[in-house]
Amino acid sequence: MEIHKLSGWEISQKIKNKELTLDKVISFFKERIKKFNPQLNSLVSLFEDVEFPSSEFSSELWGVPILIKDNICIKNREITCASKILKGFISCYDATVIEKIKKAGLVILGTTNMDEFAFGSSCENSCYGPTLNPYNKQYVSGGSSGGSAAGVSAGLSPLALGSDTGGSIRQPASFCGVVGFKPTYGRISRYGLVAFGSSLDVIGPLARDIRDIAYLLEIISGWDAKDSTSSLQEKKSFSSALEDNIKGLKIALPKEYFVAGLNKEVEESIKEAIKVFESKGAYISEINLPHTEYAVPCYYILSSSEASSNLSRFDGIRYGARKKAKDLIEVYKKTRREGFGKEAKRRIMLGTFSLSSGYYEAYYLKALKVRSLIKKEFQEVFKYYQAIITPTSPTPPFQIGERVEDPLSMYLSDVYTIPSNLSGIPSVSLPCGFTKEGLPVGLQIMANHFSEDILIKVSFSYQSVTNWHKIYPKDYD
């Protein structure tokens, strides 16, 4: 049996039906990880002593293996955010999502690689080295949740958790040919997620099958007393949205997302996908989102400002790698100089500058205003449309090293994913084709706040008539 080609929920069912045993499943994936991870660098640590679920069949995903991005706290496990500054740091508590998935009986196999502190779009800014694209190892896996995306893509685990601040789940999902889901800001507790941009960060699932995504969302979402920004909104049943029915659904295509910078092959794939939705009875119209061009600069100011403050606590005083020096200031300087990578330092400087007196109004405050305009613009669209469809990324995966020295081109690879973080709305990236070179292409769907059910319905309809999500990289087939 090709267990790695089963969806998470199928594995769980087979365990329940006694077609498979939990031990068999776990050892199968562990073997696979041991065999393939050295090629891909998807995991940064594989748990030899996995924690087995205690309660029987407590969810649709009971017994299913899952990988966790290295910026989500798991009790008694090392968490590094792929940064030297946290090397050796063991978390003394579980993030709320971890508590929930443990309770639901999922089995955490290990932690996955990422751009340091989630700063990046290629998974190259990691102290562990880059995670490679399973479809072609010359190419990046995307970022920052590249390890999670590549892991699911190569069948090292049917499920993974990532975090998305400006596209960090969706862009690598698109690059690795899997589904990546960014829920509404506030839908899932951030408690235990190491903060990057606190007003933008969201935890979300990656998988190949939208049904797995729906089940996992059901498990991890909900209000949390430990996170004041988590929403009191009643939890919807995401699995009941798994129906192939989008007849009459109004879908918008924003013109600003189909412009010069968009790769032709990507555009072709998206157009093909749109035809699928049309054939299922959805109405497609072009619309305008005129502030789109300001999203990237606005995002880099806000996210870096928050990050500069969030990363202050990594000073070597209480935990992490402290460097010895002659006085306090030198301890701070040396610890942070040697502990943080290049991109982390760039963001800290950018954010510190934007918040400095004399610049605050022109940068941070201005960006806040732009953000509310972008939010408003989406609200207008959602008065008439239920979903917006765009490419996830303007290009297919790029080559390792291609953009490392050009941060601006790297930042622009998130141009289509950033707006939903700024406005807090949910969005999903679905595999929707391959380039001639065999690199995956992703389709992004956005919906209004707390309308994850619409995204699930649209995704399910699409996956019921397409096979893109079932095409594995040939080396890991």
Partner 1 sequence: MIELEVVIGLEVHVQLATESKIFCSCPNLFGQPPNSLVCPVCMGLPGVLPVLNKKAVELALRAALALNCRIKEEIIFERKNYFYPDLPKNYQISQYSNPLGEEGFLTIGSKKIRIKRVHLEEDAGKLIHKEKYSLVDLNRAGVPLIEIVSYPDISSAQEAQDYLKELKLILQYIGVSTCDMEKGFLRCDANISLREKGSSILGTKTELKNMNSFNQVRQALEYEIKRQKNSILQGEKIIQETRLWDDNKKITLTMRTKEEAHDYRYFPEPDLVSFVISKQEVDKQKALIKELPSQKRKRFKENYSLNDKEIEVIISESGLSNFFEETLKYYNYPKKVCNWITGPLLEVLNNKRMSIEEIKLRAINFAELIKMVESRKITNLVAKELLGELIKYDQNPQTLAEERNLLSISEKSELLGLVREAIEENPRAVEDFLRGKDKAIMFLVGWVMRKTRGKANPHILKELIERQIKEEK
Q: Which residues bind partner 1 (CB under 8 A)?
A: 71-73, 79, 81, 86, 89, 91-93, 95, 190-195, 197-199, 225-229, 305-306, 308-309, 312-315, 317-319, 328, 332, 352, 355-357, 360, 364
* Element (DSSP H or E) covering residue 302: helix 295-310
Stretch (H or E) spanning 45:
strand 43-46
Written in H, E and C, the secondary structure of 221-265 is ECCCCCCCCCCCCCCCCCHHHCCCCCCCCEEEEEHHHCCCCCCHH
Which CB atom, from 258 or from 319, has the smaller least distance to partner 1?
Answer: 319
- Give the DSSP H/E element, type plus range, for residue 383: helix 366-384
Torsion angles phi and psi, residue 30, rounded to 5: -60, -45
Return the H-helix or E-strand segment holding 107. Answer: strand 107-112
Instruction: Report how far Cα 396 is from the mean position of its chain's Cα atoms.
Output: 17
CB 239 within 8 A of CB 211: yes
Residue 69 appears among annotated catalytic residues: yes
Q: Give the H or E element holding residue 154.
A: none
Task: Establish whether 16 is a catalytic residue.
Answer: no
- Annotated catalytic residue, options 168, 231, 308, 451: 168
Shortest distance, position 99 Cβ to partner 1, whole Å = 13
Q: Between residues 210 and 370, which has the closer beta carbon with respect to partner 1?
A: 370
Angle among Cα 331, 333, 336 to the nearest 5 degrees reads 100
Catalytic residue among 59, 141, 144, 269: 144
Q: 């002593």: which residue's tokens?
A: 49
Distance CA 82, CA 57 (A): 34
Residue 93 or 258: the one with the smaller Cβ distance to partner 1 is 93
CA pair distance 146, 132, nearest whole angstrom: 8
Nearer to partner 1, 123 or 355 (CB): 355
- Tell me the closest approach of the beta carbon of residue 27 to partner 1, in angstroms: 31
Question: Nearest approach, Cβ of 227 to partner 1 (angstroms)?
Answer: 5
Q: Is 37 exposed, middle or buried (0-12, 13-18, 19+ CB in 10 A)?
A: buried
From the list 469, 410, 399, 403, the residue with the least C-alpha distance to 440 is 469
Angstrom distance (rounded) from CA 97 to CA 135: 30
Q: Please enumerate, as own/partner, the contacts of 99-102 that have beta carbons within 8 Å and a separation of 24 or more.
A: 100/219, 100/220, 100/222, 101/66, 101/161, 101/216, 101/219, 101/220, 102/51, 102/53
The residue among 312 and 464 lying less far from partner 1, judged by its C-beta, is 312
232 or 260: CB nearest partner 1:
232
Q: Give min distance, CB of 255 to partner 1, in A.
A: 32
Task: Give min distance, CB of 427 to partner 1, in A.
Answer: 20
Cβ 73 to partner 1, closest distance in Å? 5
Greatest pairwise CA separation for the chain in angstroms: 70
Q: How far is the CB of 49 from partner 1 (least distance, A)?
A: 22
Q: Active-site residue among 7, 30, 42, 69?
A: 69
Catalytically active residues are: 69, 144, 168
